[in-house]
């Protein structure tokens, strides 16, 4: 079977689109970052949540409009290619190569660590549980986009119910004194918190990878994005306020802060509730990450940036199975490394946040060239400025995306050099 003999199946509507987007954004960050930002910046960390909640509105809407204009499984890479040619597509593709293969295991490790803390299990639990989550995500994505969309919808409904329970329980214990002093560490930690919160708000681009699979992308893509923005902003901000107002971040030991908050309200049921929530949000985000990344690699292979081997779909399910199998192998290697040299999660959040900021910068630059309406370009420009303002707070980690792009362009240059050399030799061989 040759690449291109099958096409991605058109089976998604706005409900599945909204669910896939919410699942990809409302992920493991909800377990970890409300407590982390509160520890870094005190109650002032709420300003970071509000700022990011506002920042992502033009960002998310612009990404949705780009997906409508360029409905391609390549997502941001397709936008960059349409705006800046093959160099832009190559740069975006290599940036993605530096995210999901590491970001998905990070998300799984955070979620498994949360379950381990909530249930009081030994550290031995974390790595096998994280590996199992990713294995299930790979399998379900391989089975077809219909199953993927239905799975995401069911997960998002359960996540929202559990988060609303946690917010309701915590709200009854919020104390005004918990918000004073509001800036115990000054303004600087708010900037760092804002940059780290990119981890909690990344994922809007994931829907673009499914654009080819919408039955009516022009009608349903933007509807999916708008619903996602409303749901995510409300849930994140309410949870951050309750985390600060109950001071649960002071005694929760990082990822266990939500468990502490729930435990004060519903007692022994908190253990089950927090463990289930951790599993659902973790699986939801890795499910969307894995599916979107597999489609990106397939589209890049189809465009000639990645090996042709990956530009082939399963003949029946029309899923990029070869990419998914390869990704499973990469995940195994990442977990093997973690077993020998455990990751420092805060540091890895900085690395991945830097890459996603770079991807969004590239996407907004593409929007300035591709989107026809002036209002759309104004939104893209506003989102671009906000992304650029957040980047310096990552310190030297912000340089990592430039290294990835440099490697990608070097690889492309070598491929083109070999191709040109082969073309020059071919007439000589024919004359001989």
- HSE-up (13 A, CA, CB side) for residue 358: 27
Residue 118 three-state SS: helix
Asked whether residue 36 is domain-assigned, the answer is yes
Three-class secondary structure assignment of 335-385: HHHHHHCCCCHHHHHHHHHHHHHHHHHHHHHHHHHHCCCHHHHHHHHHHHH
CB within 8 Å of 424: residues ≥ 6 apart: none
Q: What are the tens digits of pLDDT across the range 148-183?
A: 888 888 888 888 888 888 888 878 888 888 888 888
- Do the domain assignments include residue 424? no
Whether 425 is covered by a domain: the verdict is: no
Number of domains composing the chain: 1
User: CATH number of the domain that 321 lies in?
Assistant: 1.20.1740.10
Nearest to 201 by CA among 24, 69, 47: 24
* pLDDT tens column, 241-276: 988 888 877 765 555 567 677 666 676 677 777 788
> 14-31, pLDDT tens digit by residue?
888 898 889 888 876 777
Structure tokens at 148: 């993927």
Confidence of residue 6 (pLDDT cuts 50, 70, 90): low
Residue 86 lies in a domain: yes
User: Could you read off the pLDDT of 351-368 as tens digits, one per residue?
Assistant: 777 788 888 899 999 999
Assess whether pLDDT exceeds 50 at residue 1: no
At 128-152, the pLDDT tens digits run 999 999 999 999 989 888 888 888 8
d(CA 168, CA 155): 20
Indicate the pLDDT class of residue 232, thresholds 50, 70 and 90.
Answer: very high
pLDDT, tens digit, 9 for 90 and up, residues 310-362: 888 888 888 899 999 999 998 988 888 877 777 666 556 667 777 888 888 99
Question: Does residue 320 lie within any of the structural domains?
Answer: yes
Q: Is residue 105 part of a domain?
A: yes
Residues of the domain holding 404: 14-415
89 is a domain residue:
yes
| Residue 4: inside a domain | no
State the burial class of residue 338 (Cβ atoms within 10 Å of its Cβ: 0-12, 13-18, 19+). Answer: middle
Half-sphere exposure of 61 (CA within 13 A, CB side): 16
């Amino acid at each position: 079977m040759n690449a291109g003999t099958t096409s991605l199946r058109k089976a998604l509507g706005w409900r599945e689109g909204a669910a896939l987007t919410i699942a990809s954004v409302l992920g493991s960050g909800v377990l970890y970052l409300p407590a982390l930002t509160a520890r870094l910046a005190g109650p002032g960390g709420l300003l970071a949540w509000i700022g990011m909640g506002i920042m992502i509105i033009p960002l998310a809407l612009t990404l949705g409009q780009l997906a409508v204009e360029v409905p391609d499984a390549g997502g941001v890479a397709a936008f960059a290619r349409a705006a800046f040619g093959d160099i832009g597509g190559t740069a975006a593709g290599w940036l993605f190569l530096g995210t999901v293969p590491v970001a998905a295991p990070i998300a799984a490790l955070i979620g498994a660590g949360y379950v381990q803390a909530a249930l009081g299990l030994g550290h031995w639990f974390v790595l096998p549980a994280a590996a199992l989550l990713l294995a299930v995500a790979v399998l379900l994505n391989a089975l077809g986009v219909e199953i993927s969309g239905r799975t995401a919808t069911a997960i998002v409904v359960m996540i929202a119910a559990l988060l609303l329970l946690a917010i309701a329980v915590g709200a009854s214990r919020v104390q005004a004194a918990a918000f004073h002093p509001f800036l115990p560490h000054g303004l600087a930690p708010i900037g760092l918190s804002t940059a780290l919160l990119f981890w909690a708000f990344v994922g809007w681009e994931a829907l673009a990878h499914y654009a080819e699979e919408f039955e009516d992308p022009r009608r349903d893509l933007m509807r999916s994005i708008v619903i996602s923005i409303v749901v995510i902003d409300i849930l994140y901000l309410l949870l951050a306020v309750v985390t600060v107002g109950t001071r649960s971040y002071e005694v929760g030991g990082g990822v266990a802060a939500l468990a502490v908050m729930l435990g004060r309200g519903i007692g022994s049921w908190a253990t089950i509730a927090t463990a289930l929530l951790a599993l659902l949000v973790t699986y939801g985000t890795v499910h969307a990450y894995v599916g979107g990344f597999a489609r990106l690699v397939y589209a890049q292979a189809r465009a000639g940036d990645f090996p042709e081997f990956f530009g082939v779909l399963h003949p029946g399910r029309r899923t990029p199975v070869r990419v998914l199998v390869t990704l499973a192998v990469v995940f195994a290697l990442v977990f093997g490394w973690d077993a020998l040299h455990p990751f420092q999660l805060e540091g890895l959040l900085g690395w991945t946040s830097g890459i996603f900021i770079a991807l969004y910068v590239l996407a907004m630059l593409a929007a300035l060239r591709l989107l026809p309406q002036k209002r759309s370009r104004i939104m893209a420009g506003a989102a671009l400025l906000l992304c650029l303002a957040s980047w310096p707070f990552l310190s030297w980690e912000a340089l990592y995306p430039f290294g990835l792009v440099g490697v990608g362009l070097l690889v492309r240059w070598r491929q083109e050099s070999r191709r040109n050399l082969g073309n020059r030799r071919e007439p000589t061989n024919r004359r001989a």
